[in-house]
Chains A and B, each alone.
Chain A
Amino acid sequence: QKEVEQDPGPLSVPEGAIVSLNCTYSNSAFQYFMWYRQYSRKGPELLMYTYSSGNKEDGRFTAQVDKSSKYISLFIRDSQPSDSATYLCAILGGGATNKLIFGTGTLLAVQP
């Protein structure tokens, strides 16, 4: 079983739609969760960072963690064509290194 599972998509939505992106993880010891956005031919950039369970909001983006079900989500409100990218969930693997464990990424296309 992979440590982080993510639906690869692709996901296509019309402009203005609410987008829901999801990941599951296997190790209940994980506590720090991140969402990265990666445009084509670019490196990932950090979007959201959450600790433990709960919600965190930043503009049109909301990150949600449910530790009881080992489920993390990213919601995008009022989606825009500029949101078209691959979204990667990531978990901090622990230890002094702080290495990230990434999901496979979900390719999102927002149609104008």
Chain B
Amino acid sequence: DTGVSQNPRHKITKRGQNVTFRCDPISEHNRLYWYRQTLGQGPEFLTYFQNEAQLEKSRLLSDRFSAERPKGSFSTLEIQRTEQGDSAMYLCASSQTGGINEKLFFGSGTQLSVL
């Protein structure tokens, strides 16, 4: 168990470019979450997968954002036509069980800077 892995750790891009982040959850964790955290704020929920199915999306996730989890393993989060307001830390978390005892394990995040 090597924990939740996120790549890249840092991404600097110009406004209007597309970016893609990858998350590798802990093996056998079937639940995967994406959160976004801006400076001085707590993480905000973006989307949730159970296995390969995307079951919930926040209204924060505009149509420029798309997330996938093919085969229920790793997940990608793509942002098209980036804007300066997209600058944030993008966190991925995974868990094995749902319910009230669910424990989320977070990765170290991808820090996105849009110039």
Q: Which residues of A are at the interface with B, using a C-beta cutoff of 8 A?
A: 4, 6, 8, 32, 41-46, 49, 51, 88, 90, 92-93, 95-105
B100 touches A96 (CB 8 A): no
CA distance A105 to B35 in the complex (A): 15
A98 touches B43 (CB 8 A): no
Q: Interface with A: B11-19, B61-69, B78-86, B101-109, which one?
A: B101-109
B42 touches A42 (CB 8 A): no
Label chain B's interface by main secondary structure: loop
B98 touches A43 (CB 8 A): no
A99 touches B106 (CB 8 A): no
B48 touches A97 (CB 8 A): yes
Q: Which residues of B are at the interface with A, using a C-beta cutoff of 8 A?
A: 4, 31, 33, 35, 40-45, 48, 55-56, 91, 93, 98-104, 106-109, 111
B42 touches A99 (CB 8 A): no
Contact among B35, B40, B102 with A104 in the assembled complex (CB-CB below 8 Å): B40
B4 touches A43 (CB 8 A): yes
B98 touches A96 (CB 8 A): yes
Given A46-B104, A51-B100, A92-B100, residue A100 in contact with residue B48 (CB < 8 A): no
